[in-house]
Amino acid sequence: MSASNLQEQTQFLKYSRTVGMTTMRGRGFYYPVDSAMARDGRIYVVNRSSERAPADTVRVTMLNMDGEYFGVFGAGGDGDGEFLWPSGIALDGDGRVYVSDEHLHRITVFTASGDFVFSWGAHGSGEGELDSPSGLAFDLDDNILVSDARNHRVQRFTKNGVFLSAFGGAGSGEGELDMPWGLTTNADGDVFVADWGNDRVQRFSSKGRFISQYGGSGRGDGQFLKPASVAVDTKGYVYVADWGNERVQVLDADGRFMQQLRGEATHSKWAEDFLGINVEEADARARANLEPDIEFFNDDPHEQSSHIEKLFWGPSSVILDPQGRLYVTETHRHRLQVYQRVD
């Protein structure tokens, strides 16, 4: 399919801006995988980095939507305040920052400014033990929900790490999970889980009782391929990072398809600052064709995303701010794309 044939969808969300840029250190992102937002608008972005990169490329970057930069914290390693394979991030009601580590099987807690507080977690499959924790979210009682991916369940802990309950279990039936990734809660306390291995989103009550499911395997409207993250707004609309299909999909409260986003990125403020200083690179970009009209030999959306810069490439996380704006974290293009409601 030609890149010029990408279909426009009925507008529910419209593109607003791009935030961030690629840097291995400091003011930027390097393979970001998840984001969270504080009440004051500060955004925390987890940079997973890569296996061969230096330890200080693994970090959490702090910024806001306008591109104001507040610094970084964390580093690669297994010591206090360090990560080896960070995956998820969430903030509790006091503004403390929680980061999951799939390799160390633990949750690390920081102050809002990035000072290490403590960590907890033990590797295993028993009650309260973890095996590759990924997505994090807080419930209405400020307890933390953890996607315990390789145990195929969701566990609930106090924010100090005391086990409370669990639900799920390996399988593809109602209420069963296969490598759950991102998760979120709605205003009623219901839990929505991106059921990565089952290509669906499942909805549970606050007690872990199965309510409904959305999606199924495929590339059509309302279908998913390895969904990574889910967000729900105050009107019940469901936003899914359809990672394997290189897109974000929006469903209504009953699970009906509303819109898909493929990405419309432009330069961020940080990128404009960089190109204003590095004029040779700016000139080269100005001459480059960033939207080549390519005849692809298969229908894999990864082929389009890897060749066309504005498109999502590895959309791994979706979050919403209090104004209903959607923030999409892109792992392979090291940025956030921001969308806002049309109505």
Q: What's the average model confidence in pLDDT over 201-222?
A: 97
Residue 5: phi, psi to the nearest 5?
-95, 10
- Do 211 and 190 form a contact (C-beta atoms < 8 A)? yes
* Buried-state track 99-115, b at ≥16 Cβ within 10 A, e below 16: bbbbebbbbbbbebebe
Confidence tier at 83 by pLDDT (50, 70, 90): very high
Alpha helices, DSSP H only, in the chain? 269-277, 279-287, 301-307
Q: Per-residue pLDDT averaged across 14-36, rounded?
A: 95
* Residue 283 pLDDT grade (very low, low, confident, very high; cuts 50, 70, 90): confident
Q: Is the pLDDT of residue 5 over 60?
A: no
Cα–Cα distance list, 267 to 212, 247, 335, 336 (Å)? 39, 19, 10, 11
Position 202 confidence tier, pLDDT thresholds 50, 70, 90: very high
What pTM value is reported for the model?
Answer: 0.94
Mean pLDDT of the chain: 93
- Contact of 168 with 155, CB cutoff 8 Å: no
Instruction: Please say whether the beta carbons of 124 and 148 come within 8 A.
Output: no
| pLDDT digit string, tens, across residues 295-339 | 777 778 998 898 899 999 999 999 999 999 999 999 999 999 999
What pLDDT is stored for residue 289 in this prediction? 72
Among the listed ranges 101-110, 236-245, 293-302, 327-336, which one has the minimum average pLDDT value? Answer: 293-302
* 224-252 mean pLDDT: 97
- Reported as a pLDDT band with limits 50, 70 and 90, residue 10 is low
What confidence tier does 258 reach under pLDDT thresholds 50, 70, 90? very high
Tell me phi and psi for residue 10, to 5 degrees: -55, 130
What tokens were used for 290?
Answer: 């960033």
Taking 90 as the threshold, does the pLDDT of residue 268 lie above it? no
Structure tokens at 70: 């507040």
Q: Using alpha carbons, select from 72, 67, 68, 64 the residue that is nearest to residue 47.
A: 72
Kindly list the strands in the beta sheet with 210-215, ordered across the sheet, starting from the edge strand earlier in the chain: 180-185, 191-195, 200-204, 210-215
Lowest mean pLDDT among 134-138, 144-148, 268-272: 268-272
Q: Looking up tokens 């089952």, which residue turns up?
A: 198
From the CB of residue 263, how many other CB atoms can be counted at a distance below 10 Å?
A: 25
C-alpha span between 101 and 259 (Å, rounded): 33
Cα 134 from chain centroid (whole Å): 10
Average pLDDT over residues 118-122: 97
pLDDT score recorded for residue 94: 97
Least-confidence region, from 9-18, 120-129, 158-167, 177-186: 9-18
Long-range CB pairs of 174-177, under 8 A, 24+ apart, other chains included? 174/202, 174/210, 174/213, 175/202, 175/204, 175/209, 175/210, 176/152, 177/152, 177/153, 177/202
Give the per-residue pLDDT at 6: 41
Task: Give percent of the chain above pLDDT 90.
Answer: 83
Please compute the mean of the pLDDT values over residues 272-287 and round it to a whole number.
78
Given a cut of 90, is residue 271 above it in pLDDT? no
Query: Is the pLDDT confidence value at 292 over 80?
Result: no
Which pLDDT score is estimated for 227? Answer: 98
Please determine, for residue 279, whether its predicted confidence score (pLDDT) is greater than 90. Answer: no
Is residue 265 over pLDDT 60? yes
Nearest-5° Cα angle at 243, 109 to 294: 140
**Element (H or E) spanning 127, and its range?**
none
Residue 190 CB partners (closer than 8 Å, separation 6+):
203, 204, 205, 206, 211
CA angle (13, 16, 19) in 5-degree steps: 125
Beta carbons of 19 and 1 less than 8 angstroms apart: no
